[in-house]
């Protein structure tokens, strides 16, 4: 999906994928304010100024379309971030639009993501202060950390190899996730195989510089959440070899892996800053 495939509504405050325009019309969601005011659904995640709600929309042809509505309100912005956003500072962009663009970029590069339905923004004093992202449910999707817990040793190792190959391809394409926990990968079983989907892409970027730093961060987040999900040291070693694409390490590899290990140890010591697995003993959501 590219920008020409979109339908602009509500004086440009709302952009809708053409395929989903009838769905929004059927449910009276033709304006930014109506989407932001949607009141039904199941709350999946909430921090000050940001929430994610699972909602059900009536399809024009009958049946229900399950979707996820992620909304950002002014309380999510600190005074400093408001100023940076007004100045169009790199990294201070609206998360909803950033995730929308990341979804489109990843899909164009051949990665699986949730189907994007709509994105909306409202500005105040030249900066985006309210926004939303609406995506379709990934049918049959299971969070990878839950899926990993259900596996015996051999299938868990195969999953580790699949995640490693996906991560290598993701990084080779120039992307970094910045919240690359297993909770942000969904697994969909398809016959005898399975497909992996990226979710929660609001911080995904394609940096020109210091990519190694972000690779290390992504790998550490995966390793940390994999350990919480029951991964063994052998699983992690298999992951590392698959990610690097070689069985025998080169002289540069131990330095990379040592940097990853230090970050993993730091995560175990202080916990993650952003969303991860909150139903583990001793792991608590941050106040962000």
CATH number of the domain enclosing 178: 1.10.510.10
Q: β-strands 127-136, 116-124: how paired?
A: antiparallel
- Domain range for 184 is 142-270
Same domain, 167 and 92: no
Estimate to the nearest angstrom the gap between the alpha carbon of 40 and the chain centroid: 23
Q: Does residue 282 lie in a domain region?
A: no
Q: What is the CATH number of the domain that holds 24?
A: 3.30.200
- Look at residue 249 and give its three-state secondary structure: coil
pLDDT value at position 280? 47
Q: Helix 233-244 crosses helix 211-228 at what angle (to 10 degrees)? A: 150
Q: Answer with the one of 136, 151, 182 that is the final residue of a domain.
A: 136
Pair (93, 146) in one structural domain: no
Structure confidence at residue 278 (pLDDT): 43
Task: Verify that 17 and 65 share a domain, yes or no.
Answer: yes
Domain boundary among 136, 164, 188: 136
DSSP 184: G
Residue-level pLDDT at 2: 52
One pLDDT digit (tens) per residue for the chain, 288 residues: 455 478 999 999 999 999 999 999 999 999 999 999 999 999 998 888 999 999 999 999 999 999 999 999 988 888 787 788 877 777 778 899 999 999 999 999 999 999 999 999 998 877 889 999 999 999 999 999 999 999 999 999 999 999 999 999 999 999 999 999 999 999 999 888 899 999 999 999 998 888 899 999 999 999 999 999 999 999 999 999 999 998 777 888 889 999 999 999 999 998 776 555 544 444 433 332
Q: Same domain, yes or no, for 129 and 149?
A: no
Helix, strand or coil, per DSSP, at residue 11: helix
Q: How far apart are CA 284 and CA 98, in angstroms?
A: 26
DSSP string, 76-137: GS-HHHHHHHHTT-TT-S-HHHHHHHHHHHHHHTT-EEPPEEEEEEEEETTEEEEEEEEEE-
Structural domain total, the chain: 2
Q: Angle at Cα 18 formed by Cα 17 and Cα 24, nearest 5°? A: 75
Same domain, 32 and 125: yes
- In the three-class reduction of DSSP (H, G, I as helix; E, B as strand; rest coil), residue 148 is classed as helix
Could you tell me if 266 and 146 lie in one domain?
A: yes
Among residues 136, 153, 181, which one ends one of the domains? 136
Same domain for 38 and 127? Answer: yes
pTM over 0.75: yes
């Amino acid at each position: 999906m590219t920008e020409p495939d979109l339908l602009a509504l509500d004086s440009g405050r709302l952009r809708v994928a053409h395929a989903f325009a009838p769905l929004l019309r059927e449910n009276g969601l033709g304006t930014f304010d109506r989407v932001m005011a949607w009141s039904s659904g199941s709350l999946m995640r909430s921090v000050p100024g940001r929430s994610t709600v699972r909602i059900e929309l009536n399809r024009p042809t009958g049946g229900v379309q399950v979707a996820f509505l992620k909304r950002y309100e002014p309380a999510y912005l600190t005074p400093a971030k408001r100023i940076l956003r007004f100045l169009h500072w790199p990294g201070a962009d609206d998360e909803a639009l950033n995730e929308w663009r990341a979804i489109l970029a990843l899909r164009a590069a051949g990665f699986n993501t949730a189907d994007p339905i709509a994105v909306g923004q409202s500005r105040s004093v030249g900066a985006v202060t309210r926004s939303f992202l609406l995506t379709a449910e990934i049918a049959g999707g299971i969070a990878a950390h839950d899926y990993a817990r259900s596996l015996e040793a051999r299938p868990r190792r195969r999953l580790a190899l699949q995640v490693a190959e996906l991560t290598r391809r993701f990084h080779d394409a120039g992307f970094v996730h910045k919240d690359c926990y297993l909770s942000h990968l969904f697994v969909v079983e398809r016959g005898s195989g399975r497909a992996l989907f990226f979710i929660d892409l609001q911080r995904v970027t394609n940096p020109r510089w210091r990519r190694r730093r972000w690779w290390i961060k992504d790998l550490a987040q995966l390793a940390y959440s994999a350990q919480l999900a029951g991964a063994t040291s052998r699983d992690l070693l298999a992951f590392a070899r698959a990610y690097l694409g070689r069985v025998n390490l080169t002289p540069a590899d131990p330095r990379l892996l040592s940097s990853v290990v230090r970050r993993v140890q730091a995560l175990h010591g202080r916990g993650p800053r952003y969303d991860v697995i909150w139903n583990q003993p001793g792991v608590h959501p941050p106040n962000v």
